[in-house]
Amino acid sequence: MRIRTAVSATALALVTTLALTGCVAGENAEPEAAAPSADAADAGWSADTLDIDFATYNPLSLVIKDQGWLEETLDGVTVNWVQSAGSNKANEALRAGAVDVGSTAGSAALLARSNGSPIRTIGIYSQPEWAAIVVPSGSDITSVADLAGKSVAATKGTDPYFFLLQSLEEAGVALSDVEVQNLQHADGRTALEQGSVAAWSGLDPIMAASEAESGTQLIYRNIDFNTYGFLNATQDFLDASPDLAQAVVDAYEKARAWAQENPEEVVAILAEVAGIDPAVAEKVIVERTNLDTDPVPGDAQRKVLEVVGPIFVESGDVEDQATIDKALDELFEPTFAEKADASTIAG
């Protein structure tokens, strides 16, 4: 059965995104395992709730939510969907226990793990080109080198921020020569279009909407500087509810196949949830998102993160390379994606 969730732009504007801090009272305390409800237990599930994020930068999450597959499959389990406004917000929610599973960029997942967040990457949901350097129409900035002495908006802890750092390094521009304004993605777009910053390291679909609606221009693109889409879970959740974790990864594989067979539907879902024109959504899905990727986290992702990791140290986001190396060794949990079976998901 197909369940369609209609979300208007007005309703989306009323959704309050999480603004949680990384340190909360009792963070290091051992959580008490709650017994599942009778309904969940009768159905054989380990818990009676699943808290999971959805994000406009993660099209597969939108498909799963829209189709209602998890709700149909997880009999007796309440599925709570929480919107992530960016990788940084997803990481904050994971660390605070507000979600069990959250979607981030690979760079953001490695940064979180390096800074002590006990998350594991259980799947890869896309290989996107979702970040680029954006300037207003008619700007005299035509290259990354021109950013020296300028202000640039970027959301720290997300792929666009690390895209900016890599771009500056490649162009020979020191980070200290640029004024980085730490703004959430949508606020970065506003700052750029209102002239508060000279450039913005943007994120789709907000970036594509800015191009179409405001005539902004992408002056630098490099797909190799975009890390993959990582599906992450807390270690506590994986220990307590491996059955629910497997169900989530199975649903992602069902969504991956469905999305490749129904690209027009994916475009429509993204346009509806993000409140953007279908033509903009089509550019994001068709031109800038590769969903036909191996879901198992492994060598391809490690290779990308080995390039990004040292930049964390140079920028002061992580204390030393040894910490990054340890985090990278511990981040991937491939067994769920290796066992993924989309046929187990209802729908």
Tell which residue, 208, 185, 142, 168, has the closest CA to residue 315: 168
Tell which residue, 56, 209, 58, has the closest CA to residue 127: 58
In this prediction, residue 37 carries a pLDDT of 67
In this prediction, residue 11 carries a pLDDT of 34
Measuring CA to CA, how many Å separate 272 from each of 62, 89, 215, 218? 10, 22, 22, 24
In this prediction, residue 193 carries a pLDDT of 98
In this prediction, residue 33 carries a pLDDT of 46
pLDDT digits (tens, 9 = 90+) for 121-135: 999 999 999 999 999
In this prediction, residue 164 carries a pLDDT of 96
In this prediction, residue 347 carries a pLDDT of 86
Mean pLDDT, consecutive 10-residue segments, the chain of 347 residues?
A: 35 33 33 60 89 98 98 98 96 97 97 97 96 97 98 95 95 96 98 98 97 97 94 98 98 98 98 97 96 96 94 92 97 98 94
In this prediction, residue 38 carries a pLDDT of 67
pLDDT digits (tens, 9 = 90+) for 289-322: 999 999 999 999 999 999 999 989 988 999 999 9
Please write down the HEC assignment for all residues of the chain: CCCCCCCCHHHHHHCCCCCCCCCCCCCCCCCCCCCCCHHHHHCCCCCCEEEEEEECCEHHHHHHHHHCHHHHHCCCCEEEEEECCCHHHHHHHHHHCCCCEEEEEHHHHHHHHHCCCCEEEEEEEEEECCEEEEECCCCCCCCHHHHCCCEEEECCCCHHHHHHHHHHHHHCCCHHHCEEEECCHHHHHHHHHCCCCCEEEEECCHHHHHHHHHCCEEEECCHHHCCCEEEEEEHHHHHHCHHHHHHHHHHHHHHHHHHHHCHHHHHHHHHHHHCCCHHHHHHHHHHHEECCCCCCCCHHHHHHHHHHHHHHHHHCCCCCHHHHHHHHHHHECCHHHHCCCHHHCCC
